[in-house]
Amino acid sequence: MQILHIDSAITGDASVTRQLTAKIVARLNADGDATVIYRDLNQGVPAIDTAWFEAIRVGVEEPTPAHQDRVATSDTLLGEVQAADVLVIGLPVYNFSLPGQLKNWLDQIARAGVSFRYTAAGPEGLLTGKRAFIAYAAAGTPMGSDMDHASGYLRHMLGFVGITDVTFVAADGLAFDRDAAMARAQASLDQIAA
């Protein structure tokens, strides 16, 4: 099994999502047989831009170094997802939504003809047969509430590229009762089987 472990929190070792993703990966890799690829999106994920659009979507005849750089970055990020059997993604909620670097990563991997395609019946995800575990943490945004613009969006985007087996481990309400939030998250962790 190959696990892609993705963190995106800006709070370093104090991050609840980083703690939860590490626990999820450890649980999934209890026998030590998995290959784990780690990517910290807080180290930087470029936003898509005109050079990305020209290189990836249009396909310029004579690519510049900027075009080549955009393709290489996107290919690397998408290749990690394609090779993974399981994705473990940290989803800290900032201002009711996901971090910009996680949005940038999603934009990099959502590529027509590679990770999804349009059909007469609508879009079809091409990254099927994978599981995803999402570590959701929020100080005051309850998961699934009207204020939560993070979990539904991430679930939708993963489904859009074909990853529909998605499990959330949520530690929400941390600002109100941290112990209770962590206990709920641990109960969800205890349900995860490798």
Residue 30 domain flag:
yes
Question: Does residue 194 belong to any structural domain of this protein?
Answer: no
Element (DSSP H or E) covering residue 39: strand 35-40
pLDDT at 77 over 90: yes
Write down the mean pLDDT value for the chain: 95
Q: Report yes or no on 135 lying in a domain.
A: yes
pTM of the model: 0.95
Q: Is residue 165 part of a domain?
A: yes
Pairing of strands 2-7, 86-92: parallel
CATH number of the domain residue 103 falls in: 3.40.50.360
Number of structural domains found in the chain: 1
Distance CA 165, CA 173 (A): 25
* 147 CB-contact burial (10 Å; exposed 0-12 / middle 13-18 / buried 19+): middle
HEC string for 120-147: CCEEEECCCCCEEEEEEEECCCCCCCCC
In this structure, are residues 29 and 194 in contact, taking their beta carbons and an 8 Å threshold?
Answer: yes
- Segment 65-76 shows an average pLDDT of 91
In a domain, 151, yes or no: yes
Among 58-67, 96-105, 114-123, whose mean pLDDT is lowest?
58-67
Q: Which of 3-7, 24-28, 190-194 has the lowest mean pLDDT?
A: 190-194
pLDDT digits (tens, 9 = 90+) for 102-161: 999 999 999 999 999 999 999 999 999 999 999 999 999 999 999 999 999 999 999 999
CA atoms within 13 A on the CB side of 185: 30
Does residue 100 belong to any structural domain of this protein?
yes
Q: Please, what is the end-to-end C-alpha distance for the chain in angstroms?
A: 10
**Is the CA virtual torsion 9, 184, 131, 151 positive or negative?**
negative
Angle, CA 45 vertex, CA 33 and CA 42 arms, to 5°: 70
Give me the percent of the chain exceeding a pLDDT of 90: 89
Any domain includes 55: yes
Give the pLDDT confidence score for residue 142 in this predicted structure. Answer: 95
Mean pLDDT of 68-95: 96
Mean pLDDT to the nearest integer, 69-89:
96
Q: What pLDDT shows up at residue 46? A: 95
Kindly state the average pLDDT of the residues 48-62: 84
Which pairs with CB-CB distance under 8 Å and at least 24 residues apart come from 54-61? 56/111, 57/112
Give the pLDDT score at 194: 63
Q: What is the pLDDT of residues 29-45, one digit of tens each?
A: 999 999 999 999 999 99
Structure-derived torsion over alpha carbons of residues 27, 144, 149, 45, reported in degrees to the nearest 10: 0
For the cut 90, the answer to whether the pLDDT of residue 186 exceeds it is yes
Q: Give the structural domain span for 20.
A: 2-189
DSSP 8-class letter at 112: B
**Lowest-confidence region among 24-38, 47-61, 63-77, 161-175:** 47-61
